[in-house]
Amino acid sequence: MRTNADCVIIGGGVIGAAVAYNLAKGGMTNCVLLESKYLSSGATGRCGGGIRQQWSTEPNAQLAMDSVRIFKTLEEELDTDIEFLQGGYLVLAYTDEDVEQFHKNFELQRRLGLDVEILQPEEIATRVVRQLNTDGVRMATYCPSDASANPFLTTKAYADAAVKLGVEIELFTPVTRILREGNRIVGVETERGIINTPRVVNAAGSHSVLLARTVGVEIPITPYRREILVTEPLERFLDPMIISFSFGIYFRQVKHGSVIGGFAYPDEKPGFNEESSVDFLTMMSHKLSFLMPALKHVKVVRQWAGLYDVTPDAQPIIGETDGVDGLFQASGFSGHGFMIAPKASSLLAQLILGQKPDLDIDRLNVRRFSEGDIDLDHSVV
């Protein structure tokens, strides 16, 4: 393990791997990425792999749209298959609140140039998906350029490309604390020794809170368990991700053929619990049987859980920490880190490299939470 680095990235999820790659691509190659287990063993590897641009706040929508632009050529750039597919996202509205919010979202997204459209329930079968039960659906929005990809392959692709450029990746290397002298970062202490560095990227998802605390910094991230299941593989029949915030569901068919999906259990308590529950399995099966009756005879192969690292406004915390020079935060992605990783990591790398980020990310700095008004994103599933 290197003992001196220009930057140490903590966390081997898609964010950490993509930040490492973008730093090295920008010329900072003496970086070390530390991961306590193996790549994408945390939230990244447990996520649904959706890439949605339909958000209700401008920063999330902009980050997602720019990320899709990067995703489109990422397989070429990283020279490997990540199962990227622009199958679209169909978002279903069931309530008055949904309808009102969807129109607001539509206005914002169209203003930003997104190819989103409003569909009436009867248009869904002919335009998007034939097998969907639209009982109770008031309207839907559909964005054909929304996409999906394989989170494991994407993280590995970023990591492999970073290593080729000179980054060192140390797996199974838990960080015990970040080292600070006065108002600046001086190193990282791991279970395998110390790395001296003036810069640390805290990209450890829900565990970022605990790491920040080792240098006396509090970041407002709360972990919530989110559960998910996967079925046996089926012949290709479904291209878009189908989601609803009020009904509470997201599901899609992955390249391998399985249907993968989940929902946020409404009474979930905050905490680091990653156990699977029978309640989730039965409730999710109810939801799937209702929305797509043909799936009743399809078998569930596996269920698991992961953690959303949720911030008060459901937007990520990206940027340097006031009062601690060299401590960069890249967490709090609130369940949508995978889909905005390409742009978020590129912007953070620009900031670390001393360049002007090509999108204003100052508003994503952690200091926003001590300045009052926050702009909650309503489009979290």
Tell me which residue has tokens 């569909």.
119
Regarding 272 and contact with other proteins (CB under 8 A), the answer is: no
* Of residues 98 and 227, the one with the C-beta less far from other proteins: 227
Q: How far is the CB of 157 from other proteins (least distance, A)?
A: 11
Binding span for other proteins by CB under 8 A among 61-69, 114-122, 291-299, 333-341: 291-299
Residue 118 CA from chain centroid, whole number: 25
* CB contact at 8 A, 228 and 48: yes
> Which member of 289, 353, 375, 378 binds other proteins (CB under 8 A)?
289
Q: Is 276 in the site for other proteins (CB under 8 A)?
A: yes
Q: Mapping DSSP to helix (H, G, I), strand (E, B) and coil, where does residue 160 land?
A: helix
> Which residue lies nearer to other proteins by CB, 113 or 257?
257
Residues 164/147, Cβ–Cβ less than 8 Å: no
**237 belongs to the binding site for other proteins (CB under 8 A):** no
Binding string, residues 26-45; x marks residues near other proteins by CB under 8 A:
-----------xxxxx---x
When asked if residue 192 is in the footprint of other proteins (CB under 8 A), the reply is no
Query: 321: which residues sit within 8 A by CB, 6+ positions away?
Result: 212, 217, 327, 328, 329, 366
**Closer residue to other proteins, CB minimum distance, 269 or 299:** 299
CB-nearer residue toward other proteins: 3 or 282: 282
Q: Which two tokens stand for residue 332?
A: 């709090």
Of residues 334-373, those binding other proteins (CB under 8 A): none
Identified binder of other proteins from the candidate list 81, 232, 279, 358, rule CB under 8 A: 232
Report the candidate in 234, 242, 261 with the shortest Cα–Cα distance to residue 129.
242
- The closest alpha carbon to 195, from 32, 41, 11, belongs to 32
Beta pairing partners, 180: 185
* d(C-alpha 222, C-alpha 209), whole Å: 8
Q: How far apart are CB 298 and other proteins at their closest, in Å?
A: 6
Q: How far is the CB of 341 from other proteins (least distance, A)?
A: 17
CB of 95 to other proteins, least distance (A): 22
Compare residues 210 and 301 and give the one whose CB is closer to other proteins: 301
292 contacts: CB under 8 Å, gap ≥ 6: 131, 132, 133
DSSP state of 269: P
Place of tokens 């490299």: 353
| Least gap, CB of 160 to other proteins (angstroms) | 9
Residue 153 binds other proteins, judged by CB under 8 A:
yes
260, 254 Cβ separation under 8 angstroms: yes
Under the criterion CB under 8 A, does residue 156 sit at the interface with other proteins?
yes
Name the site residues for other proteins (rule: CB under 8 A): 37-41, 45, 152-153, 156, 230-232, 256, 276, 278, 281-282, 285-286, 288-290, 293, 295-304
